[in-house]
Amino acid sequence: MNIIKLDATDSTNAYLKGLMLVQNLEDFTAVMAKKQLNGRGQMGTKWESEPGKNLTFSVLKNKIELPIQNQFVISICVSLAIYNTLHKLQIPKLRVKWPNDIMSGNCKICGILIENTLIGDTIDSSIIGIGLNVNQTVFNNLPNVSSLKLLLGKTVNLEELLHSVVSNFQDVFQQQQTEAPINLFDRYESVMFKRHKPATFKYNSGELFTGYIQGVSESGQLRILVEDEIIKEFSLKEVTLLY
């Protein structure tokens, strides 16, 4: 297991991307930093993290060889790997909030940013950025956020946790190579946040509506049961699931 440790960097995703240009890296190479100066989340959001308290790291997955239209499979694999790791720690009310935030109850504990490299219409490799709240206990002006220490009542060893996450990455991606895709989708849907429960959504125009999450499509769109018993599919650019 190749793990590169940094005191500080702008972004572990960017660091790993630059490293790929100058050397051949083994599969599941991980870069962790005590401090990220410019950590990013989904849709260009900024990831806030107290230095040295959390896991901010990126993992390289080589030789994916997936058609671009199946890219949500990568998101599923990453979500399930994090979920499996935290499930073993007995994090309560653990769920995956579409597309790949990890939740405990109504509180976010982990964010994921995936950047793919393409060859033609095929995904060749992915850099998977993870921000996992571990030992931070104060989150200024951030609602609906928690950490493993707050949830478990104890400090968690960061390096041991990182090794566990990367090991689960290896396991889940191995399953992806050998199992039918429907099995991965079934597992993902079984742990989805707010599935089959009334939920509030916001169109990117700002308008709110209510519905019931049914699951996801093959392309990763969120399937929502809306009024008149109609199931509609939405992309991340169209709607946001509120807490």
Query: What is the tens place of the pLDDT at every residue in 95-135?
Result: 999 999 999 999 999 999 999 999 999 999 999 999 999 99
Cα–Cα–Cα angle for 33, 166, 156, rounded to 5 degrees: 65
Cα–Cα–Cα angle for 134, 136, 137, rounded to 5 degrees: 120
pLDDT value for 39: 56
Mean local confidence (pLDDT), 59-64: 96
Q: For all residues of the chain together, what is the average pLDDT?
A: 93
User: Exposure string (b/e) for 186-215, b if CB count within 10 Å is 16 or more?
Assistant: ebbbebbbbbeeebebeeeeeeeeebebbb
Mean local confidence (pLDDT), 16-44: 84
Prediction pTM value: 0.93
pLDDT value for 140: 85
Would the pLDDT of 43 be above 50? no
Give the model confidence (pLDDT) of 177-223 as tens digits: 898 889 999 999 999 999 999 999 999 999 999 999 999 999 999 99
